Amino acid sequence: MSRWEKTLKWMTKISYALLIFILANTFIAHVNPIEFRDVDLKFEYELVLMLATPLLVFLLVILDYLRNPAQRIFFINFILGIPLSIFSLILVILITNSIDMSRGSEREIFKHRFDERSRIVYRTSYWDGHHREGQTYKLKTLNKFFQLTLRTDTAELNAYQWIDLTKGLKN
């Protein structure tokens, strides 16, 4: 096996691994309790994944031709790669938008008395332009990029540990 063939095989494996990562991330992101702290960073991350998907699909089609040039016709591979790339882009956009429940607005309602990294927020989300019922979440900062998000019931909170920030506020 020549060095060129080894390089093509290595590039193909990396491309498949990246594509699997993107697809797995698209499907499991909504059940993962770890999320980006900054919504703008989350948007940019998802945008990169969406744009990388068609490029990876097209790269895989071209790599397939380069690994088997005697069995493939370049023009047909090239022409097949374009619709496959567009289809993969549309598929990732549809899946991401059907699963993602973006944060519409967030209001901090409790903060932890002893742990400054923990807080409880009330989030409302918007789906197809319609306001949805809000949920209460406990957020714990993991680092400057990520936070742990868990649904919580405020009726079960220890009043000594949590400071109510909504007292005296009108809705």
pLDDT, tens digit (0-9, with 9 covering 90-100), for 47-57:
888 889 999 99
Q: What is the pTM of this model?
A: 0.72
Bridge partner residues of 146 (DSSP)? 36
Q: How many residues does the chain have?
A: 171
H or E element, residue 65: helix 39-67
pLDDT of residue 69: 79
Residue 124 CB neighbour total at 10 angstroms:
14
Which of 97 and 69 is assigned the larger pLDDT? 69
pLDDT of residue 76: 79
pLDDT of residue 91: 85
